[in-house]
Amino acid sequence: MRNKLLAFFLLWSVSTQAQVQSRLLKGLVLSEKDHSGLSQAIIENEDGKVSLTQNNGSFSIEVPNGVTKLLVRSIGYGTKTITVQPGENDITVTLQELNQKLNELVVVGYSDKKKSELTSAVTVIDSKKLNDVTSDDIGSLLQGKVPGLYAVNSSGAPGSAAEIRIRGISSINASQSPIFVVDGIIGGNFDPNDVASVTVLKDAAATAMYGSQANGGVIVITTKRATKEGLTVDAKLTTGVRFPDFGKIKMMNGSQLYNYQKELYRDYIPGDTGNSYKIDLLRFYADRPRYLDSTNFNWLDAMFKPALVQNYHVSLAGKTKKNDYYFGLTYYNEDGTFINTNYKRINIFGSNTTHFGLNSSLTNNININGTIGKSYDYNDVYYAYLNLPWDNPFDSAGKPVYVDQNVPFKWWSRDKINPLQTAENSNHEYKGFDVNYDLDLNLRITPWLRYSSTNRLSAAYNTSSDYYSPVVAGQYHGTGFLDGTGELDYGGVFNNLLKFDFTFGKSQLSGLAGVAYEIDKSQNMGGSGRGLPFNLKVFNVVSSNLALTGSNNEAEIMSYLSQVNYNYEDRYFLTASFREDGSTAFPKSKRYGSFPAVSAAWLVSNEPFLQNSKTINNLKVRASYGITGTQDIGASRYLGLFSLSSQYNALSAATPLQLASPDLTWESKHEQDLGFDLGLFERLSITIDLYHNITKNLLLQVSQPLSVGFETRWENSGQIENKGLELALSSVNIRNRNFSWSTDFNISFNNNKLKSLPASFVRTDSWGNSQIYRNGGNLYEFYLPVWKGVDKQTGAPLWEQITTDSSGNVKGRATTSNYANATLEEVGSAVPTLQGGMTNTFTYKSFSLAVNAYFVSGNKVYSNNLRFAMNDGNEPLYNQIVLPKGYSIWTHPGDNATNPSPENNANSTEPSTRYLFNGSFLQIRNISLSYAAQSLAKALRMEGITFSLSADNVYTFTKFIGQDPQVTITPQNFNMPGVDDFKYPNNHQYLFTIDLKF
């Protein structure tokens, strides 16, 4: 049957050529070095007819009967002329590689390109460089490795993901995160262990192909495929332990707190006469019995414990003539360092490619991913820090003791809560699964034209619930509480493209044109209720306060895309692309946006005068300009809306939800990039990129005076300019038979400015912390009273008060102890201006040692924790931090202190620069030592065994007084960007890995 088919196919193929006296010659083009197949190699017959090889290097071409010659060449490889004898078939041609690095295939946009052909700013990280750190999150793995990519691990909760920004922050209210493209399709799911490479697309030349979703940059994930014939099995087993990283703050122990609290008993009534300023010990002992001095309980130790991490990954890969397959299975299990938290994930990935016909293939990928975990309640972390060391959470039997307002024993802590008892009797569970199925068809139509269809269907169901047993103290005592939500997301992406590729003379012209369509739908349902008998935790048993929630969502994007690439003699490259997107996020007349890009590159090192240079083995100059967009702000933002989700007395109630904005449309980012790639002595490669991006028509929630009844209105307003410089160095410093040392270093500078805003506006969070958005200012610029220390005479807090004349000019600067009179000032941004990373890798015989560091500078971080934990007696029954070096509390008139008198502390903990710190840090991200046990592997008839030990998040050098200077940079509920507020601490992690290859 198959032969018949093939014959039929060949017949068709031949008949279209209408050359009776020719025959079809088949063959393979391989790299001389490793005999791997070369794709896109050009085979030219004597008549000038051209054929290209497919991915495995195979080709077929019509040749005249009789002796004939073929010219075979491939970019980055030498050229060969082959003589073919009559009747000779299945020939193999090997080509010598000119420059290995330049031939790596890079997955960009809707096509693959060789590195040498690139005209855009792109960074590729292969799986080896990616997986030095062990994490379930790709963002953490990329941290510090890609110039221009800023990744923040703002939470240490199990399973949490890093926040990623590429080339600064270019949106305010629209999504700022890059999009992920997995195996050529926007969105999708993958396991980091199954990733072969990550390509970060940074400039519009590369990202504009993703048009409306590419403002934040694009991260292209390519999953692993079989690389050689036969079966390869790889098993990687990792296990280790994590410890919480509490950063620079140290909470007081019982004795420290006891001594500190004496300060609250100073005989000082502000404004009164006859103050002695002495500590009134009699009163102190009356309130704080002496036994407290030796009562010490460490809450953090009780609520945070060392936790186990495990990651097991097995993969099978194999290749036959007709089929490639890859199968990966991952089990990841992370216990949280905070009590009763964890995260487990299982991921199954299968990929199969069937090759058929001439250069045609069909690929099926399926990825199934299931997650189960336990989250935490912010309050429990809060109390772990702030409960007093004078309270013991355990009874004599070692069980967490029940505490409420009316318990007969003395509970010193401010709030009558034992967080251990709550955490033990509550659950914050989440579960979910996610399935992607990809079907890719790659069909040759003529030697120069292909049809490519890449399609994905995806579905995910995620649930989360919170459960409090009736035994917990607090509002759910006696009844218990349950809430839960479930969300179904489903949708598809369908790309249908025609791709062409011509070679004529010294020129090559390739490109594509096609249509893409995306649809996403979601629906969620949830409920809450009380009255849970016998610790049962399902909605069926809820007996009171039952409430339901639920809503649906939908979005569609329709796109038309095209791209043309021109290459002359592998020296001059030109690429132009155009994409047109329509999004349902905007009103009908404003739906479509255009996203063009053009870029060029000159590969100087391929010029005759450099071709044989021993010094410069690669030199390229690149330039690009293009436009990308954003539409990701949620549905229906342009409508004037009333919400129907509230009720009054069990009747439907409509409340004003949103102001209308009938002209709302795309935000677009205009990007320019100039880049240089330089390779020296086959050892050192340098990439420099300069960029200048302006985001126009920002999708902005413009602050309204609250008196209109709305906080904001969606408008297209204002601009953000991002300018930057990126430098990446990769160097092989020493390369001997037994020893090598290589360094990867990158550093990026970014400067952002807001422009063209109609008026400046201020965002203020629920604690009163403000950030200002103003023309000429930076994004996330803190807008706070400037802390001026402590009044020497009265011990009162001081802030700066600026007086201005009617036209706003500064007339004078003074200090005030009246917080309400303090002037709000621009005091620095939460966005860093510099960041980078460095990895040094040493190998000696079978040993390898890698050290990876990451650094950030130029940002400010606000420690909201200190509002509670260094509160000058405003909340005397919260535990306090041990005062850092150089800090002191005011004790008497004339005292030069940093912290106000607890007796004269009005508003001292209100937002000000007092708690704003330099956010710079240098972190030793990872140290890993591995040993490849070759002889053992040989003895066991295995391909390889590697043992490795690694330490992640080893140490952070910083001046920040808080848990960790890595805090969120995303405006979100409860948190403003750059504000640290009792986050789940990050972790130190120590792991042992065995990697077995069969």
Partner 1 sequence: MKYFIKKISHHEMWSFSAICSQACSIRVQSARAGLILLTGLSICFSGCLKEIQPSDAITTEVLTSNLAGLTNAVNGAYSLLKDHVTFNGTEDANNMYLRQYFQMSSFAGDNVVCAQVTEDPLFLGFSYNHAPTQANARYFWYISYKIINDCNTVIEAVGKDSTANPNPAVQQLMGECYFLRAFCNFNLVRFYAKPYTQDSAAPGIILRLSTNEPEQKARATVAEVYKQVVSDALEAASLMNQPRGVIFASKEAAWALLSRVFLYQGDNKDCIDYSTKVINSGRFSLCTADQFKTMFANAQSSPGTLFCIGFTDKDDYGKFGSIASMIYSDGNSGWGEEYASSSLRDLMSEHPEDIRWSYIVPLYDADSNIVLKNGIPTYYDTKFSFQGGSPTLSSPIMFRMAEMYLNRAEAYSKTGDVKDALDDVDAIRNNRGLGNSLYHGILPGGTTALQVVLNERRIEFSFEGFRMFDLFRNNLALVRDYWGYHLPGLVSSSIDLSVKPQGYPNEIIQPNDPRIQYYIPIDEVQANKLCVQNP
Q: Closer CB to partner 1, residue 139 or residue 902?
A: 902
Four-residue CA torsion sign, 300, 303, 306, 307: negative
Least separation in angstroms between residue 3's CB and partner 1 is: 11
CB of 578 to partner 1, least distance (A): 17
Classify 767 as helix, strand or coil. Answer: coil
Cβ pair 690, 725 in contact under 8 A: yes
Check: CB of residue 499 under 8 Å from CB of residue 111.
yes
Q: 316: helix, coil or strand?
A: strand
Residue with smaller CB distance to partner 1, 245 or 415: 415
Task: Tell me the C-alpha distance between 435 and 462, whole Å.
Answer: 12
Least Å distance between CB 494 and partner 1? Answer: 6
d(CA 405, CA 130): 52
**In sequence order, what E strands does 890-943 have?**
916-918, 921-932
**Closest CB 474 distance from partner 1, rounded Å:** 5
Residue closer to partner 1 by CB (options 640, 884) is 640
225 closest CA partner among 371, 327, 310: 327
Which residues does 805 contact at the CB level (< 8 Å), separation at least 6? Answer: 811
Instruction: Using the minimum distance from each CB to partner 1, give the nearer residue, 80 or 262.
Output: 262
Q: Report the distance separating Cα 303 and Cα 320, nearest Å.
A: 54
If the CB atoms of residues 312 and 761 are measured against partner 1, the closer one turns out to be 761
What are residue 651's DSSP bridge partners? 648
Which residues contact residue 560 at a Cβ distance below 8 angstroms, ignoring those fewer than 6 apart? 514, 515, 516, 579, 580
Q: Residue 77 or 265: which CB sits closer to partner 1?
A: 265
Residue (58 or 68) nearer to partner 1, CB:
58
Q: Which is nearer to partner 1, 60 or 905 (CB)?
A: 905
Nearer to partner 1, 114 or 288 (CB): 288
Q: What angle do CA 994, 997, 998 make, to 5 degrees?
A: 140
Distance CA 891, CA 998 (A): 71
Which residue's CB is nearer to partner 1, number 653 or number 939?
Answer: 653
The contacts of residue 779 (CB under 8 Å, 6+ apart) are: 169, 172, 720, 752, 754, 773, 829, 830, 831
Instruction: Enumerate the β-bridge partners of residue 723.
Output: 692, 751
Q: Kindly tell me the burial class for residue 16, based on how many C-beta atoms sit within 10 Å of its own C-beta (0-12, 13-18, 19 or more).
A: exposed
Length, in residues, of the chain: 998
Cβ-in-10-Å burial (0-12, 13-18, 19+) of 973 comes to: exposed
Closer to partner 1 by CB, 8 or 992: give it: 8
CB of 413 to partner 1, least distance (A): 12
* Residues 6 or more apart in contact with residue 888 via CB below 8 angstroms: 895, 897, 898, 899
- Least distance to partner 1, CB of residue 941, Å: 25
> Residue 817 CB, nearest distance to partner 1 (Å)?
11
Torsion (CA) 534, 539, 541, 545 in degrees, nearest 10: 100
Question: CA–CA distance from 396 to each of 8, 392, 404 (Å)?
Answer: 85, 10, 18
Cβ proximity to partner 1, 105 vs 513, nearer residue: 513
Residue 986 CB, nearest approach to partner 1 (Å): 24
Nearer to partner 1, 41 or 497 (CB): 497
Nearer to partner 1, 107 or 557 (CB): 557
Token pair of 449 as six digits: 């034209």
Cβ at position 656, least distance to partner 1 in Å: 5
Contact, 45 vs 68, CB < 8 A?
A: yes
Instruction: Catalogue the E-assigned strands of 613-681.
Output: 616-630, 641-648, 651-658, 667-680
- Nearest-10 Cα torsion for 942, 946, 947, 952: -150
Least Å distance, CB 339 to partner 1, is 21
Name the residue nearer to partner 1 (CB basis): 636 or 742.
636
Q: Which tokens belong to 82?
A: 């082959």
Q: How many CB atoms lie within 10 A of CB 879?
A: 28
Q: To the nearest whole angstrom, how small is the minimum distance from the Cβ of residue 4 to partner 1?
A: 10
Taking the complex as a whole, how short is the minimal distance between the CB of residue 175 and partner 1, in angstroms? 15
Q: How far is CA 817 from CA 872, 893, 899, 906, in A?
A: 15, 15, 13, 8
Give the whole-angstrom CA distance, residue 646 versus residue 660.
Answer: 20
Please enumerate in sequence order all residues whose Cβ is within 8 A of that of 938, keeping only pairs 6 or more positions apart, or say none: none
Residue 121 near residue 146 (C-beta atoms within 8 A):
no
Nearer to partner 1, 617 or 769 (CB): 769
How near is the Cβ of 476 to partner 1 at its closest, in Å? 8
Report the residue number, 75 or 881, with the smaller CB distance to partner 1.
881
Minimum distance between the CB of residue 437 and partner 1, rounded to whole angstroms?
10
Closest separation in Å from C-beta 803 to partner 1? 14
> Which of 817, 764, 812 is closest to 789 using CA atoms?
817
Minimum distance from CB of 183 to partner 1 (Å)? Answer: 15
Tally of CA atoms within 13 A in the half-sphere of 728 that contains its CB: 23
Q: Closest distance between partner 1 and the C-beta of residue 407, in Å?
A: 8
Q: Which is nearer to partner 1, 74 or 871 (CB)?
A: 871
Are 428 and 468 in contact by the 8 Å Cβ rule? The answer is: no
Are 933 and 942 in contact by the 8 Å Cβ rule? The answer is no
**Which two tokens mark 274?**
């006859």
Q: Between the CA of residue 680 and those of 336, 605, 985, what are the distances in Å?
A: 46, 11, 43
